[in-house]
Amino acid sequence: MNHIEVNHINKKYEQFQLSNVSFTVPAGCIVGFIGENGAGKTTTIKSILNCIMINQGEIKLFGKPISNEIKEEIGVVFDQNFFYEGLSAKDIDLILKNTYKHWDSQLFYQYCTDWELPINQAMKQLSKGMKMKVSIAAALAHHPKLLILDEATSGLDPISRNDILDIFLDFIQDEDHSIFFSSHITSDLEKIADRIIFIHKGKILFEKDKDELKDNYGVLKTQNEEILKDAHKLRLMRNTFGCEYLIDNRQEIHQAYPEAVCDPISIDDLMVFYVKGDELA
Ligand SMILES: Nc1ncnc2c1ncn2[C@@H]1O[C@H](COP(=O)(O)OP(=O)(O)OP(=O)(O)O)[C@@H](O)[C@H]1O
């Protein structure tokens, strides 16, 4: 069952366009959504949540178009504090109790206690990490099946980020749950994502399982024609030291040519290859 299905959507702004964007987020999966500033991540997320109108295409959540009933199944966290700065966690509980059918005050206060959040203090008096944790507690306390997070860990220190990643890993223990997670912090995605989707200038450049990236993708540094013939080369980068190739048969090359220098690739370097490298396949 796909929790999110995005089919060939187009969204036009004056200076920007989402072009033919398609992908899925299956149940039980954490899908990381990456791309440089202005690539279209927030526009895609807003389209999914029906906050903006798309020009073309179709979006389904749990197999259906979005509705109030479906919104009950979704927890959303943006990088900016979503709540009025004068509200405390206690006020947020009172408001959301009247918003969500399945709002669970006990669970909300449990998160606040576990994460040492002061429930009487206004949001404006809390640190960025604390505000983020209140937003995450609020997103989780109506028992959603799907979490949609837009830069939810940006601006947090490594310890708070780690706490929050653990919360997401805990959430995904239920196989009927899923997370769609945009982030610039690719090390977070390396840690928790099952699948990576890369958007560039409004187009999806690749969508791959993280294990496949880890196992098969690599950076080959060689001038040896024989090795290059057997390598499945996707992109070429020229630098002062020569040429580097992005390949997707690293294990095969390693077995056939143990002497070849072919390192695994990080998500950051993969993005650089796709954006700056010459296309070979
Ligand atoms: N309401 C709007 N009107 C016109 N253009 C817009 C509007 N909202 C976003 N854009 C443009 O759409 C493009 C994509 O923006 P978006 O916020 O989706 O990028 P992003 O990938 O989330 O970037 P970042 O990583 O910086 O948050 C940008 O060029 C932005 O200027």
Q: Which residues line ligand 1 (CB under 6 A)?
A: 13-16, 35, 37-43
For the stretch 124-167, pLDDT in tens is 999 888 888 899 999 999 999 999 999 988 778 888 888 889 98
Question: What pLDDT score was predicted for residue 82?
Answer: 74
For the stretch 248-264, pLDDT in tens is 999 999 999 999 999 99
Is residue 241 pLDDT above 80, yes or no? no
Question: What pLDDT score was predicted for residue 163?
Answer: 85
Name the closest-CA residue to atom 19, ligand 1: 38
Residue 146's nearest CA partner among 25, 7, 8, 9 is: 25
Tell me the average pLDDT of the chain: 93
Mutation choice for ligand 1 from 10, 12, 16, CB with most ligand atoms inside 8 A:
16
For the stretch 116-127, pLDDT in tens is 999 999 999 998
Distance 46 CA to ligand 1 centre (A): 10
Dihedral angle, C-alpha 170, 174, 177, 181, nearest 10 °: 20
For the stretch 12-31, pLDDT in tens is 999 999 999 999 999 999 99
Question: What pLDDT score was predicted for residue 164?
Answer: 87
Contact 24, 5 (CB under 8 A): yes
| Predicted complex ipTM | 0.97
Distance 17 CA to ligand 1 centre (A): 9
266-281 average pLDDT score: 90
Is residue 265 pLDDT above 80, yes or no? yes
Percent of the chain with pLDDT over 90: 81
38-62 average pLDDT score: 96
Question: What pLDDT score was predicted for residue 105?
Answer: 97
* Measured distance CA(128)–CA(134) in Å, rounded: 10
Distance 90 CA to ligand 1 centre (A): 33
Question: Could you identify the atom of ligand 1 that is nearest to the CA of residue 199?
Answer: 21
Is residue 281 pLDDT above 80, yes or no? no
Question: Could you identify the atom of ligand 1 that is nearest to the CA of residue 40?
Answer: 18
Is residue 239 pLDDT above 90, yes or no? no
Question: Could you identify the atom of ligand 1 that is nearest to the CA of residue 44?
Answer: 18
Contact 67, 136 (CB under 8 A): no
Q: Residue 47: is it exposed, middle or buried by C-beta count within 10 angstroms (0-12/13-18/19+)?
A: buried
